[in-house]
Amino acid sequence: MFAARLFNVTVTNVPGPPRTLYALGRELRAIIPLVPLAAEHAVGVAIVSYAGDLCIAVNADRDLVRDVDELIAGIEDDLAALDAFQTSV
């Protein structure tokens, strides 16, 4: 009755440092997250914050998720709606 795969989407949120980091005098400009796809998994969404910014990365198996662009557009639309709500309050 149960499928071999209990889930096929992984979402993770990692809070990064709130201030800018430096290495050898050079500023770390961004941290880009990545969720590796496990066997038979279709989508990974990784979110990381760093120095007041937020980076969201979507990793997908194109053979299983042919409409990943729609997922990304939906995330962008929802973030824009949250931003509009926040600035109106």
The per-residue pLDDT for range 44-56, each reduced to its tens digit, is 999 999 999 999 9
- The pTM of the whole model exceeds 0.75: yes
Query: Within a domain: residue 54?
Result: yes
Query: Within a domain: residue 36?
Result: yes
Query: Within a domain: residue 2?
Result: no
Query: Within a domain: residue 4?
Result: no
Please tell me the distance from the alpha carbon of residue 46 to that of residue 35, in angstroms, as a whole number: 6
Give the number of domains in the chain.
1
Please tell me the distance from the alpha carbon of residue 9 to that of residue 2, in angstroms, as a whole number: 17
Q: What is the mean pLDDT of the chain?
A: 91
Count of beta carbons in the 10 Å neighbourhood of residue 53: 11
Query: Within a domain: residue 3?
Result: no
Query: Within a domain: residue 51?
Result: yes
Listed in sequence order, the residues at least 6 apart from 32 whose beta carbon sits closer than 8 Å to its beta carbon are 48, 55, 57
Domain range spanning residue 81? 9-88
Q: Please answer whether residues 41 and 24 qualify as being in contact, where contact means their C-beta atoms are separated by less than 8 angstroms.
A: no
